[in-house]
Structure 1
Amino acid sequence: MTQLVTQAEFARMTGYAKSYITKLKQAGRLVIIDDKVDVAASQARIAATDGAARPDVSDRHAQHREGIETEGMPDDIPSDIPSKAASEAKTAHFKAMQSEADYRLRIGELVEASEVSHAVADISISFRQALENLPARIASELVGKDLDSIRATLKTEIHAALSEMERNFDKKLKEMSDD
């Protein structure tokens, strides 16, 4: 006698998730009669189409996995198969990456992006202010001078502003590496 059950009952009987039963149905791996699952026939079809029982199916899935790019992930973690093992492997991988980043931060090879951003902003503001104050500071020195003297004075002042910016950069880099 054929035992017919709903998809939810079949899921409970087999221990599969309801979503997996839906995927089996969509893949044609369930025998459906009048919107009910034929238990024995479906179990036989699932077993017959299982990758472990059919080398051609497992080979096809392996080829599919090989073609998937997994940027930044170890090769032994299949990205297309959501599983607890794959999830744990990803977690371990990223924990290792975080540990490496923490180590590089401690030994001074890495700097927090926010620290760099603040340092660049501080130095940029100082440099901008130096350039904006330049006319007010040297205007009186330029009055009555010939063109070559004006150029020489401007060159000296700009060189001084750039040198100050370089010193500020060096100072900020030293402060960040000391932290």
Structure 2
Amino acid sequence: MRTYLSRKAFADSQGWSPSYVTKLGSQGRLIMSPDGKSVDVDATLAKLGKTADPSKEGVRQRHVDTRTQRDVRSQVTADAPDTAESQGGSSDYYTHKASREKYLALLAQAEYDKVCGNTVERQVVEEATYRYARLLRDSVMGLPKQISSDLAAISDPWKLERELSDRLRKMLEDVTKLGEDDLNKAMTE
């Protein structure tokens, strides 16, 4: 059978201030009853045990000792079941801390790569690539209008092929220079 208490009664049963219980609720560390009005004592204590910062254990123990010595409550125990140790696994605190450190390291690595110029912003490169592709398409589509009259006057197939190849090569070189400049400018922004 589960034990449900109001927030104030839960705070009193643990020897905590009601504001601390409110803080636990805002951190998402309180397990509430299905109606949302009462605290599930056993589940909350278990969750607090899993999510507690082990570096604060000395402070927690000192507070328990002080409360016991003052005899404020005869049954004050802040001992929550340590399910991580009993199951042989690592605690949730360490898992979350390791995950957080990993993502912070990845973020620092990404920022370092960006500063060193090893990475660029994707959107800028995509826009430059789009402009370059349009320039290439427009140049290729406009080439027949530029060279049609010159090619019509050539009757020798070998000269026609050479002229067409030369014009295509020149047009592609021009587009490459323009596109390269545009892409370099986009990557250094």
- TM-score category (smaller protein): 0.5 to 0.7
Assess if the C-alpha contact under 8 Å between 2:124 and 2:186 holds in 1.
yes
CA distance in 2, matches of 1:147, 1:155: 12
1:12 aligns with 2:41: yes
Q: What is the alpha-carbon distance in structure 2 between the residues aligned to residue 124 and residue 114 of structure 1?
A: 15
State the structure with bigger RCO (CA 8 A, min sep 6), 1 or 2. Answer: 2
Alignment partner of 1:151 is 2:161? yes
* Residue 171 of structure 1, aligned match among 178, 181, 189: 181
Deviations 1:105-155 (A, max 9, x none): 122111111111111111110010000001111000011312122211211
In structure 2, runs of 5+ residues without a counterpart are 5-39, 51-80
| Contact 1:111–1:176 (8 Å) recurs in 2 | no
Q: Which residue of 2 aligns with 1:94?
A: 103
Deviation at 1:98, TM superposition (A): 1.1
In the alignment, residue 128 of structure 1 is paired with which amino acid?
Answer: R
Report how many aligned residue pairs link the two structures: 120
Post-superposition offset of 1:177: 4.2
Distance 2:139 2:42 in 1: 79
1:72 corresponding residue in structure 2: none
Where does residue 114 of structure 1 map in the other structure? Answer: 123
Q: Given the two structures, how large is their TM-score scaled by the length of structure 2? A: 0.53
Q: How does 1:28-67 map to 2 (within 5 A)?
A: 52=85, 58=88
Per the alignment, residue 137 of structure 1 pairs with 146
| Kept after mapping to 1: 8 A contact 2:151/2:160 | yes
Query: Are 1:123 and 2:132 counterparts?
Result: yes
Deviation, structure 1 residue 88: 2.4
RMSD (CA atoms): 2.9
Query: Quick one: structure 1 residues 52 and 91, their matched pair in 2 at CA, closer, same or farther if it must change by over 3 Å?
Result: closer
Residue 130 of structure 1 contacts residue 161 of structure 1 at CA under 8 Å; is this kept in 2? yes
Question: Structure 1: how far apart are the matches of 2:97 and 2:160?
Answer: 69
Unmatched 5+ stretches in structure 1: 1-5, 21-46, 62-77
TM-score using structure 1 length: 0.56
What is the identity percentage for the equivalent residue pairs of Structure 1 and Structure 2?
16
Q: Alignment partner of 1:7: what SS?
A: coil
Q: 1:159 to 1:122 in 2, by over 3 A?
A: same
**Which whole-Å CA distance do the structure 2 matches of 1:173 and 1:123 have between them?**
8
Rounded Cα–Cα distance in structure 1 between residues aligned with 2:132 and 2:97: 44
2:177 partner letter? R
